[in-house]
Structure 1
Amino acid sequence: MIQEHDCDFHDRDPEDWTWTETTALIFSVPEAGILGNAYVLARPNLGVALSSVALAQGMCPSPAEMDLADCQVHLPCPESFSDFELANGLSVKVSDAPRDYHFRYENALDNCAFDLTFEATHHPFDMHDPAENALLTAADSVASADTHGDGWANGHFEVKGHITGELELA
């Protein structure tokens, strides 16, 4: 079962430089034909993070046609993964963990800003928990008390929700 602590960095082998934790918000404004994505990939053992914020209105066959593509690599990794602000203007704060998130962003060129709240419509689904996944038995589960090792088996979850807030796109 996904728990509150799964919203923050997990215990890990400090020597594993490939250890990765991610969070994302995919959102849309259907009446305006806008699709957006805010994504953070953190490598706490290396002290770096990648953040990509992308927005497109309408069909964009070429990446150059997107309204915003702000991908920043080698940002300083935050100390906490449940309440942080990155140097590119994206901040994430978990509330009512592990269900609800608050994403804020302000582009350095002032051509995009958003303040969005994600509220889960259900408890996050743990695909590795036989109590939640009817296709598994206890013997099938790859999750374990050993939090080192396979990152997909320790804390990865899926959740659907409702997003409200404001978006400014110049």
Structure 2
Amino acid sequence: MSQRITNAEFLQRYESEDFGSVILPQEKDLIEKRLADLDASQRRVVQEKKDVTGGDDWHDGAFRATDNEAKILSDQASKLGAYLCSTIIEYPDENETRATLGSRVTVNQAGDTYDVEIVGVPLLHETAVSDDVMACSIESPLARSIIGKQVGHTAIFNVGERRQQVEIVSVDQTAMQRFLNDELAK
């Protein structure tokens, strides 16, 4: 069973404790939904492998293709399944002024302004977030630098050997929850 803590407790302990992986409540639901979808796909591929028999070149190629697809599905399931034991962090209170897991943060970097959603499971957000919003893993240097910061604060982080700086323009504590609720409804 996963441990569940409030976002305020997470922010209080963030700097001093290693939580391991952390996820939002709806991310756990999305993981379970995606794992069920991957399992159904895996069963379909297994059935296709059974249907592909014979020793000619076409059958051998089809067998290799389904074998490769099965491996990809298994890898995806393995990566997502690892998050099921993560600490679940409740969404931040809508009056919370600090950036945290579950926040949509607008940042300005050298005159460019863009939105960042701080997420626990980046695999869930690779294609789901719009072009206007960047999903940012809580493990990323950018997210780690802005967690706990408020509007007007500056955050400094490194990308490789290069030092980067962003200013926090706004923090929205409800956008991420609305987005994940919409994803679950699909």
TM-score computed with the length of structure 1 as normaliser:
0.29
- Structure of higher RCO (CA pairs closer than 8 Å, 6+ residues apart): 2
Which structure shows the higher strand fraction?
Answer: 1
* Greater C-alpha Rg: 2
Which structure features the higher share of helix residues?
2
Name the TM-score, length of structure 2 as normaliser. Answer: 0.27
